Amino acid sequence: MRLVVDTNRIIAALIKDSISRKIIFHLNAQLIAIPLLKEEVLKHKSIIVEKAALSETTFDLILQKLYENMDGLDEEIPKKYREEAAKIMDKIDPDDTQFIAAALATNSDIWSDDTHFTKQNKVKVWTTKELIKSL
């Protein structure tokens, strides 16, 4: 199984030692991080640190460990799929278009608890609950 990981799953894994963190560390799958993922997470760093009661050093360490369990996707790979992805997602949630493009480019599913993804039917989307059931 190959999964493009949505930002909300990384944030959930940073906030607490949750099911999302366990999935990232133990799921027998290729987890893919889009180029913008780390930027998005770092944009919310202060909120995450406060909510999770983490030091910045601990935040950085956990984020590093999470990324060690994912394959970073080169930003050039999904470029040729952006137009198709835009047709699928832009009217639903344009912020999610990049995840669809990455999934199309890598022939992957998406792991997200964002309900916007369920409004399209081109790419299979796994929720955290569905992944747990599949284990």
Range of the domain at 55: 2-130
Calpha distance 55→70 (Å, rounded)? 23
Domain count, the chain: 1
pLDDT digits (tens, 9 = 90+) for 24-64: 998 889 999 998 888 999 999 999 999 999 999 999 999 99
Q: Could you tell me if residue 82 is inside a domain?
A: yes
Extract the runs of DSSP E, i.e. beta strands, from 59-123.
71-72, 109-111
For residue 12, give the CATH number of its domain.
3.40.50.1010
Q: Could you tell me if residue 64 is inside a domain?
A: yes
Instruction: Supply the pTM of this predicted model.
Output: 0.92
Torsion sign across C-alpha atoms 72, 123, 12, 129: negative
The 10 Å Cβ neighbour count of residue 85 is: 24
pLDDT digits (tens, 9 = 90+) for 10-31: 999 999 988 999 999 988 899 9
